[in-house]
A and B are shown apart, each in its own frame.
Chain A
């Protein structure tokens, strides 16, 4: 069903309409462990080899709202060693003169289906929605990520250094999302972001009721909420049993339940809730649901009507991950406006630009630029340095990885992009992309342009691909 075979964006839009998405994570918890005590499928990520590198003379957007003209960034040991407007050149450093260029933190997309809805978009690659029941909290996106999806490479060429892969939004509980570093790897584990907490994908509204309405429900938004509540009640009881056992009040541990493991992880604050939800009124209900069961909605995803309740989002410390301008493909998306992200930001809530698309992820900076343009028409002047918070630090917060990435600060990971101009211009392209201080993409050097196994064959076509 999720075939983008017909015609480009229409097909992509179709996939959104069919699967929707959305996940949200708790920005403040900083949790690092998984729900169960052991950590299966562990990360085997190793940074690619890097050199001590000094980038000079750039317009630097730090990602936390600041801007340095004529700025320098020193990368070494995988980290940002120094950042400022005058750094002495270390003896053995590779020096990159970025005169006229811009440097930003790598873009972080907290809503992607790369690898689980891989290109080519054939039905054999439709691994993002486990539509076997309305609650599939037991499934993990990481078990289906195909690292040979060329979309990872094209996203890297767009400056994306980390991303969360989420299950789709067919279910009330779609399963666990996984955060990856955007590096080429033979295995999912080789991309898995060390220490990043899991996300739980939940979905409001039209998708679950459409998918399950004729398969025993939920049939309505009422049924959706009843479904969440019933699941949280079971999860709370499960958690209590484990606590009793751990306190020595029970002899035998409770029987493991994968579904409840994940939900318990949320209740313990270890797994971040990423909640696909479009309508303002539904988001308000979901915030109350979270209070009823003692968890936090880390981020609403899509949140097409977030501008109607931006104050409520700010009050609850819940992020909204949004498109710049997608609207109208289904009823709950009908009230989308171009200023949504800017208005959420203006209310003091955590605003994020997300993609949910193998196309959109290649130019999230451009999506932000469109929002800035639209906002300027109603007197909101958003600076480039501020807008970049939507692209790196805020999404990093929503993924619980903001302590190590998302902004250019001394000691943080060397995840950055050198753009060949102002990244909010349509003509600008990512020139060099670094992950943990290692060059992983270079616009002008084919040796640093990774190609997936699948695409390798396509290169035989006359003239080659780009």
Chain B
């Protein structure tokens, strides 16, 4: 108990120090997995100033005023990035008032920008960031599947540092559902889902070409609302990727056809059977966001689910990114990455799949995902191999700030470490 208290004090002191001083931090002595061109650097230094990385390498000169974090004997990686979460838009799944990740009743909701609802003070954020998760894609409509539409809305990329500059990118992707889940949202057949999607994109394309005449009332009416049409324009130009939740191989092929027909940028979410059409995905340059632990069919869409999905996709040349599949335990992304490695995925790719690859998919890789000069300073100092189950994050840095390594869960733990106390536990804070 004393040990952990001391640790908290130490981190608080460190925080205070870094905030008062010139906000220069040097992480020294660790094995640095840069996930960038410099590869792995033994005994490396990461120098951080004002929230950004200014230098990474061996023998980097450390300014005298820098706050030192000793990472000797430890592993340093970029902060982890879960590619599919509802951070900040859900506290307790079964408590309706805390869930803002999905809407109901709207047939088209491309304009649903989830970032309006994000609470950077969410307890889930606190619990997960001290275990190394620093960035996340917040995907709308990911809740129970009762609500939503084929267009579920716009994905936001956030950091987990808490209040402040937490929004990395809004509209980082447009989320849609095809296959079985899309069919349930659009009239009972996956044909409906595909037609709804194609109709929407065609209307947006027409709107883009005829906006003026439409505004003057000289054009036929669209079924989509204006805000939805506007939201689809960057999808049509390919500046915002279409994130397609789909599981069955044949549905993935149909999604790829859609991509071709409209010239879209696309990523697949779920993709239980993606490995079956891995060559098609590779040829189309479409990445897959997946949960590596799935190996049982949830339904007939995922009969081909296998623990080797990640390895087979990678082998075929498909970029992959990981999700832990549930926001409360986004922290388990390292375990599932380890599982992918145990089932044939190269170690380095497993690290990429939860750092630089999601950053690429969501168009934020110039800012985050690797430890390179100029990027935002998100990093984790691990007690050992980050994929191992007994390893923990010794210190997490987000946007150049050392995060206090406490959460509501660690406070609960500390409160009940001793049960036989003189006064009720409620007095212990």
Is the pair A8, B93 in contact by a Cβ cutoff of 8 Å?
Answer: no
Q: Which residues of A contact B (CB under 8 A)?
A: 3-11, 13-14, 17, 119-122, 150-151, 154, 206, 307-311, 325-331, 334-339, 343, 347, 358-359, 362-363, 366, 369-370, 372-374, 376-379, 424-429, 457-458, 461-463, 465-466
Is the pair A307, B329 in contact by a Cβ cutoff of 8 Å?
Answer: no
Q: Which residues of B contact A9 (CB under 8 A)?
A: 291, 293-294, 324-326
For the complex formed, measure the closest distance between the CB of B338 and the CB atoms of chain A, giving whole angstroms.
3
Q: Which residues of A contact B296 (CB under 8 A)?
A: 119-120, 150-151, 154, 358-359
Q: Which residues of B contact A (CB under 8 A)?
A: 1, 3-4, 84, 91-95, 123-124, 127, 142, 144-145, 180-181, 245, 249, 269-270, 272-273, 275-276, 291, 293-308, 312, 324-326, 328-329, 331-332, 335, 338-339, 341-343, 387-392, 409-410, 412-414, 416-417, 419-420, 425
Contact status of A466 and B342, CB under 8 A, knowing A17-B94, A325-B329, A372-B390: no
Is the pair A461, B92 in contact by a Cβ cutoff of 8 Å?
Answer: no
Q: Which residues of A contact B273 (CB under 8 A)?
A: 461
Q: Which residues of B contact A328 (CB under 8 A)?
A: 91-93, 123-124, 328
Is the pair A461, B276 in contact by a Cβ cutoff of 8 Å?
Answer: yes
Q: Which residues of B contact A150 (CB under 8 A)?
A: 296-297
Is the pair B298, A427 in contact by a Cβ cutoff of 8 Å?
Answer: no
Is the pair A366, B94 in contact by a Cβ cutoff of 8 Å?
Answer: no
Q: Which 4 A-B residue pairings sit nearest by Cβ, starting from the closest?
A: A426-B338, A9-B325, A373-B390, A369-B389
Q: Which residues of A contact B329 (CB under 8 A)?
A: 325-327
Q: Which residue of A lies closest to B7 (CB)?
A: A377
A-B contact pairs, 25 of them (CB 8 A): A5-B180, A5-B299, A6-B298, A7-B142, A8-B294, A10-B142, A14-B93, A120-B300, A121-B297, A154-B295, A154-B296, A311-B420, A325-B332, A331-B92, A337-B412, A339-B413, A377-B392, A378-B1, A378-B4, A424-B389, A426-B387, A427-B341, A458-B304, A463-B312, A466-B306
Q: Which residues of B contact A329 (CB under 8 A)?
A: 92-94, 328
Q: Which residue of B lies closest to A307 (CB)?
A: B416
Known: A4-B299, A151-B296, A338-B413. 4 other contacts (CB 8 A): A5-B298, A17-B94, A327-B127, A463-B275
Of the candidates B84, B293, B301, B413, the one whose C-beta lies within 8 Å of that of A359 is: B293
For the complex formed, measure the closest distance between the CB of B281 and the CB atoms of chain A, giving whole angstroms.
14
For the complex formed, measure the closest distance between the CB of A113 and the CB atoms of chain B, giving whole angstroms.
12
Of the candidates B144, B291, B331, B339, the one whose C-beta lies within 8 Å of that of A8 is: B291
CA distance A369 to B1 in the complex (A): 21
Q: Which residue of A lies closest to B328 (CB)?
A: A328
Q: Which residue of B lies closest to A310 (CB)?
A: B419
Q: Which residue of A lies closest to B91 (CB)?
A: A328
Is the pair B92, A334 in contact by a Cβ cutoff of 8 Å?
Answer: yes
CA distance A364 to B165 in the complex (A): 39
Is the pair A337, B413 in contact by a Cβ cutoff of 8 Å?
Answer: yes
Is the pair B390, A119 in contact by a Cβ cutoff of 8 Å?
Answer: no
Contact status of A122 and B389, CB under 8 A, knowing A328-B91, A461-B276, A462-B276: no
Is the pair B291, A7 in contact by a Cβ cutoff of 8 Å?
Answer: yes
Q: Which residues of B contact A461 (CB under 8 A)?
A: 249, 273, 276, 303-304
Q: Which residues of A contact B144 (CB under 8 A)?
A: 14
For the complex formed, measure the closest distance between the CB of B238 and the CB atoms of chain A, giving whole angstroms.
26
Q: Which residue of A lies closest to B269 (CB)?
A: A7
Is the pair B325, A8 in contact by a Cβ cutoff of 8 Å?
Answer: yes
Q: Which residues of A contact B297 (CB under 8 A)?
A: 119-121, 150, 458
Q: Which residues of A contact B416 (CB under 8 A)?
A: 307-308, 343
Residue of A4, A8, A121, A325 with most chain B CB atoms under a 10 A cut-off: A8
Is the pair B419, A10 in contact by a Cβ cutoff of 8 Å?
Answer: no
For the complex formed, measure the closest distance between the CB of B302 and the CB atoms of chain A, giving whole angstroms.
8
Q: Which residues of B contact A14 (CB under 8 A)?
A: 93, 144-145
Of the candidates B123, B307, B387, B392, the one whose C-beta lies within 8 Å of that of A466 is: B307
Is the pair A13, B326 in contact by a Cβ cutoff of 8 Å?
Answer: yes
CA distance A241 to B291 in the complex (A): 56
For the complex formed, measure the closest distance between the CB of B135 and the CB atoms of chain A, giving whole angstroms.
20
Is the pair A428, B299 in contact by a Cβ cutoff of 8 Å?
Answer: no
Q: Which residues of B contact A7 (CB under 8 A)?
A: 84, 142, 245, 269-270, 291, 298, 325
